[in-house]
Amino acid sequence: MARENGEAGGDCSWKKQVDDIKEMFEFKEVLGTGAFSEVVLAEERSTGKMFAVKCIPKKALKGKESSIENEIAVLRKIKHENIVALEDIYESSNHLYLIMQLVSGGELFDRIVEKGFYTEKDASTLIRQVLDAVNYLHSMGIVHRDLKPENLLYFNPQDGSKIMISDFGLSKMEGTGDVMSTACGTPGYVAPEVLAQKPYSKAVDCWSIGVIAYILLCGYPPFYDENDSKLFEQILKADYEFDAPYWDDISDSAKDFISCLMEKDPTKRYTCEQSLRHPWIAGDTALCKNIHESVSRQMRKNFAKSKWRQAFNATAVVRHMRRLHSNLNVLPLPTLPVPWHQLLPPLPQGRSPAGHSLPQLRR
Other CB atoms within a 10 A radius of the CB of residue 24 amount to: 19
Q: What is the pLDDT of residues 41-55, one digit of tens each?
A: 999 999 999 998 989
* Per-residue pLDDT band at 167 (split at 50, 70, 90): low
Count CB neighbours of 221 within 10 A: 20
% of the chain exceeding 70 in pLDDT: 71
Of 101, 72, 66, 74, give the one whose Cα is nearest residue 89. Answer: 72
Residue 167 annotated as catalytic: no
CB atoms within 10 A of CB 116: 8
Pair 16, 3: CB distance under 8 Å: yes
Cα–Cα separations (whole angstroms), residue 294 to 28, 89, 249: 40, 44, 10
Q: Which of 110, 132, 146, 167 is catalytic?
A: 146
SS (H, E, C) the chain: CEEECCCCCCCCCCCEEECCHHHCEEEEEEEEECCCCEEEEEEECCCCCEEEEEEEEHHHHCCCHHHHHHHHHHHCCCCCCCECCEEEEEECCCEEEEEECCCCECEHHHHHHHCCCCEHHHHHHHHHHHHHHHHHHHHCCEECCCCCHHHEEECCCCCCCCEEECCCCCCEECCCCCCCCCCCCCHHHCCHHHHCCCCCCCHHHHHHHHHHHHHHHHCCCCCCCCCHHHHHHHHHCCCCCCCCCCCCCCCHHHHHHHHHHCCCCCCCCCCHHHHHHCHHHHCCCCCCCECHHHHHHHHHHHHCCHHHHCCCCHHHHHHHHHHCCCCCECCCCCCCCCCHHHHCCCCCCCCCCCCCCCCCCCC
Q: Which range, 95-99, 143-147, 249-253, is most confident?
A: 249-253
Annotated binding residues for ATP, written as ranges, equal 59
Measured distance CA(169)–CA(202) in Å, rounded:
16
Is residue 166 within 8 A of residue 86, CB to CB? The reply is no
- Give the residue-averaged pLDDT of 2-15: 52
Nearest to 271 by CA among 201, 217, 192: 201
Cβ 51 vs Cβ 333: under 8 Å: no
User: Distance (Å, rounded) from C-alpha 347 to C-alpha 353?
Assistant: 10
pTM of the model: 0.74
Residue 303 has a pLDDT of: 80
Q: Look at residue 354 in the predicted model and tell me its pLDDT.
A: 41
pLDDT in tens, 300-358: 988 865 443 443 333 343 444 444 444 434 333 333 333 333 333 333 333 344 433 33
Q: Phi, psi at residue 164, to the nearest 5°?
A: -125, 135
Q: Percent of the chain, pLDDT > 90?
A: 40
Please enumerate in sequence order all residues whose Cβ is within 8 A of that of 177, keeping only pairs 6 or more positions apart, or say none: none
Distance, in Å, from the CA atom of 82 to the CA atom of 347, rounded to the nearest integer, reads: 30
For position 350, what pLDDT does the model report? 36
